[in-house]
A and B are shown apart, each in its own frame.
Chain A
Amino acid sequence: GAGVSQSPSNKVTEKGKDVELRCDPISGHTALYWYRQSLGQGLEFLIYFQGNSAPDKSGLPSDRFSAERTGGSVSTLTIQRTQQEDSAVYLCASSPSVKRGVPYEQYFGPGTRLTVT
């Protein structure tokens, strides 16, 4: 019973480069979420997928950030032209489904620590 996995676990990149972060959700989970945890800050919502579509992208901080999900499974978060303020831990979570008012458990991966130099 594998949990949510993320890769890479750590990524160091130079300012201006593009990066891709990967999330493998728990098998069968239709909902997938990306969050960001900056140093000393609480987690903040970035985007939510139901299947392959993203009904809520409201947390993406700028148009440099994008995400996709294919086959209702793996998701990739892409950050273009990285800036130093993008340095953070990026966490992915998945849940069985989403239904209005029902508090489905969200299972988190270990995160990817991104450092932009």
Chain B
Amino acid sequence: KNQVEQSPQSLIILEGKNCTLQCNYTVSPFSNLRWYKQDTGRGPVSLTIMTFSENTKSNGRYTATLDADTKQSSLHITASQLSDSASYICVVSRMDSSYKLIFGSGTRLLVRP
């Protein structure tokens, strides 16, 4: 069973609109949760990293939330731009092997003009 589940698998929104991507995980013992953006043909780029004690973190128009009790996270994108079109990947790591990233399958976002 995949330890990191993301939804939706894909999403299409109009430029300027907001959207929220979801991530549920079962990884334990939990160390940290990251959101990455991956453009087609490129390596993933980190957006946010949150540890157990953090429940929200922002990076420009990106805001991530974390509920470590329910093992859920979300990534909210405000005022979307065409350049936001990419895959967004939720990544979790364990306390005893924090270097080993466990990836979700990603949400593919398409922003249309």
Question: Are B46 and A43 in contact, CB atoms less than 8 angstroms apart?
Answer: no
CB contacts (< 8 Å) of B1 on chain A: these are none
Indicate whether A2 reaches chain B with its CB closer than 8 angstroms: no
Give the contact-size bracket for chain A.
20 to 34
- Do A103 and B43 touch across chains, with their CB atoms under 8 A apart? no
**A20 at the binding interface (Cβ < 8 Å):** no
* Chain A contacts with B in 19-51, Cβ cutoff 8 A: 31, 33, 35, 40-45, 48
Asked if B104 and A103 sit within 8 Å, CB to CB, the answer is no
Chain B residues, Cβ within 8 Å of A31: 99
Find residues 102-117 in chain A having any chain B CB closer than 8 Å to their own CB: 102-106, 108-111
For residue B41, CB closer than 8 A to chain A, the reply is yes
Taking CB atoms and an 8 Å cut-off, the chain A residues in 72-117 that contact chain B are 91, 93, 95, 98, 100-106, 108-111
A-B contacts at CB below 8 angstroms, number: 64
Interface 1/0 per residue, B88-113 and A, CB below 8 Å = 01000101111111111110000000
Q: How many residues of B contact A (CB 8 A)?
A: 27
A110 close to B93 (CB less than 8 A): no
Complex Cα distance, B96 from A45, in Å, reads 15
Interface residues of A (CB under 8 A from B): 4, 31, 33, 35, 40-45, 48, 56, 59, 91, 93, 95, 98, 100-106, 108-111
Nearest first, the 4 A-B pairs at minimum CB distance are: A108-B43, A103-B32, A42-B103, A43-B103
Q: Identify the B interface with A (CB < 8 A).
A: 2, 4, 31-32, 34, 41-46, 49, 51, 89, 93, 95-106
